[in-house]
């Protein structure tokens, strides 16, 4: 599959809290023209069964 052209890109959100750091991963999109900095969101982690902070991976 060819890489998409345009401002929207796919990113990975990786957990940064709890005992299972880096294990919980979500995939989402962001508009790189509007959002230059890295995204941080609270998402559900199935290992800790709680909402934990997830950050955009490199």
pLDDT in tens, 1-58: 556 678 999 999 999 987 888 888 899 999 999 999 999 999 998 888 999 999 999 7
Which pLDDT does position 21 carry in this prediction? 87
Q: Which two tokens stand for residue 26?
A: 């979500």
Determine the Cα–Cα distance for residues 50 and 35; give it in Å rounded to an integer.
27
Which pLDDT does position 1 carry in this prediction? 54
Distances (CA, A) of 30 to 14, 15, 17, 35, 38: 15, 18, 22, 7, 10
Which pLDDT does position 19 carry in this prediction? 83
């Amino acid at each position: 599959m060819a890489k998409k052209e345009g401002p929207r890109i796919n990113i990975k959100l990786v957990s940064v809290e709890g005992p299972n750091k880096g294990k919980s991963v979500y995939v989402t999109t962001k508009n790189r023209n509007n959002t230059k900095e890295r995204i941080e969101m609270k998402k559900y982690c199935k290992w800790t069964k709680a909402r934990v902070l997830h950050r955009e991976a490199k």
